[in-house]
Structure formats: structure tokens, C-alpha cells
Structure 1
Amino acid sequence: MEWSEDALNTILKESSAGNISKIHFDRSKKDHIHLIKRTSSSLSKDIQNRIFRGYNCQWNIFTCQKLLTPSMLLFSWRVLNDLIPTDDILKLKGLKGPSRCHLCNNDQESSDHFFFSCRFARDVWKNLTSKFNINLINVGKGNIKDNLKDWQKINLMSLPFIVVWFLWNARNKVKHEDMGINPDSVVANCQAYLQKLISWKNFTNKKAGIGVIFRDHTGKALLYFKAPYIAVDSLETKAIALYWAIKFAMEIQWNWIIAEVDSSLLVDLISKNLSPPWNIIQWMHKIKKIISEIKLQISFVYGEANKAANFLALEGSNSNHGEVSTSHPLPLQLLLQGDKLHIPYLRL
């Protein structure tokens, strides 16, 4: 039997229709499902590769492919082709009804308003660009596809798609799950994703390590522990290390703890009660449950001031098992001694 080429040409590109029309089939035979086993990639990744192979999307979002997940990439393609179901798009399809922006509750919902003009979205952009010191003065505000040249010029092609992805997720939680959302939670998700990209080279195998050192009020080191761990990103390792540090302290009845962490995001997640990124939700739940039983003061310190713990984390990532000890190896002793000096010194 032959295909109807006229019908194929109405729904497919000419090249695709030509390839399909070459396939012969027998209408008298029943259809069968043919499954191809794939072990090198996920199903969603395979679908994404098949959908976008050979197609030139608006301003070619292939440049973002390595920085976006398959779901983000598909969503980005839908954004560029006006295929996300905002109220203005639904009206064009004949689905008319009352319209409001679910994030700001002030204006009608449209893609242009939703991503940049909405008060909620403006707060997200303001906080995020402030945290990462990003200058968007030369980037146009409004429809993303009209301003992609601007994003390309500052080498931040993937940033708008990351932000609008988390904005869209927040919008859906408000609309479909009746959940309360604030801009800080969206910023936290964007920040966690961006930090994962920044530190991705250090987590290509997802093998990491945790390291914690306990000191008394005079700064004297009491004991330390280190251990290997499998983690998605650096934020997750910090959360895991904090949880086990608190739990270990409680086991030996240290109920007043001052924790110094070199992750400002983790400090904000705990002290400001923000919504955590997906990959550390369980750890944040455990941390908040356990700190209700003790007195905890948590603060941020720069990595340069946390060399001893970072040294232990690196040692932990290269070991096969955890270790708790009060006998400090020489490199750790030097780092601990350096913390007490009032002059510059070299930390290795």
C-alpha cells in the first residue's frame, strides 16, 4: 500500500514526508509494537534527540543543549514557538475565559507579562542577578525570542530559559496545587541549578566527600570525620555534611552548636525557611527536624576560611569508608594551626 503524500505534506516537512512515503506497509497485517532497548541514554533524552534532530528552532536552542535538561529544552522550544498554555495563547485557540496572572494577581496572563513584566518575575530577576552580579542593562525585556541576540552577546543564552522554567513550575503550583509561592523560593531553585552548572566539572562522576571538624569555644580541634558520598552537586554535599555533623554532636550530647558553612544558599534555606531544591528536600526535612531538639546558630564563611573542612571532604571523596578520629594528620594540623595565625600564610 502507498501513503497519501498530500496528507503527509500537510503535517510534516517535505523531507520527512518523503522519507516516510518510501516505507511500504500492508494494511491487511496487524500493527505490532517494536521496542528498542537503549542503555546509553534515558527515554526522555532519546525522545528529545529524535524530536530536535535536524530541525532549526528559533535562534537554534541547540547552543543550550549541554546546559539544559531534556525537559527544559523541550519547554524552551515551546516558549520560542508560542506553544505554552498561557491565557493569551489559549484564547487564540478558542478557550476564552477570565484571565489573571497567578503569580502577581494584578494583570492578565500572557507570556510577555509572565516572564519579565510580572512583579513576581521582576523580583526573581532582580534577586538572581544581584546574587550572581550579572549586568542585564543591554538586554531587552519582553518576549524572549525577540531578545535572544542580546543574551547571545553576553554569552548567557541559557539563563532566560532556566529562569522561565522555574517561574513556570511556580505558576503551575499556584494554579493547579493551590500552593503559596514566593520569589525567594524560585531564586533558590535557579541558584541551585546554576551552581550545579558552575561546579559540574567537579561532579562528573557524582562522587563527592563530606568533611566536618569540631572545635570548642577556644578554637581547639576536638575531633573530625570524613566520608565518601554520592551527590548531585556541592549544595547536596554541604547539606549532608551538616546533617551528620548535627546528628553526631547530639549523640555525644553537644546540644549547643555554632555551625559555619561555606554555602550561603544552605544558610538561607535554613534560616529563612525557603523551599529547597528538589535534590535536597529530604535532607532539609531531616535537618529541620533534628535542629528543633538543639540550639543551633548557623552562619556563612567563605571557602578560604573553611580550608580544614574542605581538606577533609577531599580526603573523604578519595576514601572507601568513613573515618572519625581525634588524631589529626599533619596537613590538617597545619591548616588548624594556620587558623590561629594573624599573618598571611600558604594553605595547601
Structure 2
Amino acid sequence: MGGLIRHSNGDPILAFVGKGVEPSVLAMELLAIHRGVALCLDKGYHNISIRSDSKLAVDIITGTFSYPWNVYVLKCQICSLLNHLTHLEVKHVWRELNQSADFVASNDSGDVESILYPRDFPEDLMRLIHDDIDRKTYFRPP
């Protein structure tokens, strides 16, 4: 699992990547959201926007979908963190708009979590981030 924390203008603050023991993709998506929110709070950010390409994870967090029992504890932990925020936006984004977070999540961190700062980002990741900042248009094949 992994994610990217950015300023509102799109500039990166940090990226995180780690291994999870959860058996489902949904649980890993929620685990990444949990970790991202926890890191934001640790850094003093209380006005955040969560963007995920998992529509189901977004619907579970916003309460528009009843969650499966196996993610109940994780959903409760996320909600507990969200209570510490002054402003929250939760949005589903298409996979193409989440390429930088997917890039981070695909890196092997071994058995420990890694936190990377922009000066340590690979060139390919920075290119994806700049494409997002520049509002690059993506076309989905028919």
C-alpha cells in the first residue's frame, strides 16, 4: 500500500509505502487512506482532501455504502481520525488521476514502511506529479 500527500497546489509533501497484512484489495485501499490521514494529522494538516481511485473505499468512508464486516475495525479507525479534521473532502478519482499514488504503492519497501520526501522521489514519479499539476488530459480507450 502507499500514497502521496500533496499541498493544495499539487506540490508533493511526502510519499509513503508499506506492506499490509490485509487479505483484500479493499482493505489495502482503506489501510492506505488510514495511513495517509494519520500522517497528515502528525504533520499538522487538518484541512485535507482524500482522493482515491477505489470508489468502494470512498463510498464506505462517506457512508453511502454499507461496508463488509471484515473492514469494520479499519473503517472505525479511519472515522476516529477524521474527527480530528477541521475540513474534509473525500472524492473518487479515475485511475489515470491516481497514477502517482499507484506508482508509490507499487514500490517494494521490504517489510517496513518507508516515507519518502520529494528530494528522494524517482524521476518517473516526479513526471507523473507534474503531469497532474499541469492538468494533463488522459484519454481512456473505448
TM over 0.5: yes
Deviations 1:1-28 (A, max 9, x none): xxxxxxxxxxxxxxxxxxxxxxxxxxxx
The match for 1:315 is 107
Shift of 1:258: 0.6
Q: Does the residue aligned with 1:267 lie in a helix, a strand or coil?
A: helix
Q: Distance in 2 between matches of 1:263 and 1:248?
A: 20
TM-score by length of 1: 0.37
Q: Mark the runs of 5 or more structure 1 residues left unpaired by the alignment.
A: 1-209
TM-score by length of 2: 0.86
The match for 2:9 is 218
Greater fraction of residues in helix = 1
CA RMSD of aligned residues (A): 1.8
User: Residues 288 and 343 (structure 1 numbering): CA distance in 2 closer, same or farther, change over 3 Å?
Assistant: closer
Greater fraction of residues in strand = 2
Q: Segments of 4+ in structure 1 off by > 4 A?
A: 342-345
Deviations 1:53-80 (A, max 9, x none): xxxxxxxxxxxxxxxxxxxxxxxxxxxx
Deviations 1:229-279 (A, max 9, x none): 122221111100011111111111111111101111111112125431122
The match for 1:329 is 122
Shift of 1:320: 3.0
Q: Does the residue aligned with 2:74 lie in a helix, a strand or coil?
A: helix
1:232–1:279: 8 Å Cα contact kept in structure 2? no
Structure 2 counterparts to residues 263-278 of structure 1, below 5 A: 263-272=54-63, 274-278=65-69
The match for 1:254 is 45
User: Residues 342 and 250 (structure 1 numbering): CA distance in 2 closer, same or farther, change over 3 Å?
Assistant: closer
Q: Does the residue aligned with 1:339 lie in a helix, a strand or coil?
A: helix
Q: Tell me whether 1:306 sits opposite 2:95 in the alignment.
A: no
The match for 1:280 is 71
| Larger RCO, structures 1/2 (Cα 8 Å, 6+ apart) | 2
Q: Which has the larger radius of gyration?
A: 1
Q: Tell me whether 1:245 sits opposite 2:31 in the alignment.
A: no
- Alignment size in residue pairs: 135
Which residue identity does 2:105 align to in structure 1?
A
2:4–2:15: 8 Å Cα contact kept in structure 1? yes
The match for 2:89 is 297
